[in-house]
Amino acid sequence: MFLAAVSATLLALALLVLAKPLKARMFPNRKEARRVRLIVERGTPLANLREEIEASEVPLERIVVRPSSADEEDDAELVLGKGSRQEELLSLMEGLRRVSGVREVSSALANGSTESKPKQ
């Protein structure tokens, strides 16, 4: 009886491990939420960031702001809605670079590369 339970558990775990890549192949259009990381000057109004995000029409789920190790900077993370296209993300990043107080914008793109654009 114990052997049957262990065998069934191992079989279930193996099926779960094999199902993930299969699901990715069967449903390629389901995208994960995208994240954009910003380094902003401390005291930068979040309303300015939100206006730029709304102008780009990329769905925003949340903004998380954490104090950075540097005294005059904060780390901000934008969690964007699922299904946002790479072109929309790049357009948003370009717009965020123009926001006063934004020092750096970065995000992991679909192909695994990282796009990092320090403000000039």
Per-residue model confidence (pLDDT) at position 32: 62
Token couple for 114: 């990282």
Per-residue model confidence (pLDDT) at position 119: 47
- What whole-number distance in Å separates Cα of residue 44 and Cα of residue 4? 61
pLDDT in tens, the chain (120 residues): 899 999 999 999 999 999 988 887 887 666 666 888 999 998 888 888 888 888 888 888 888 999 888 788 999 998 888 767 778 888 889 999 999 899 999 887 654 444 444 444
Token couple for 56: 């780009």
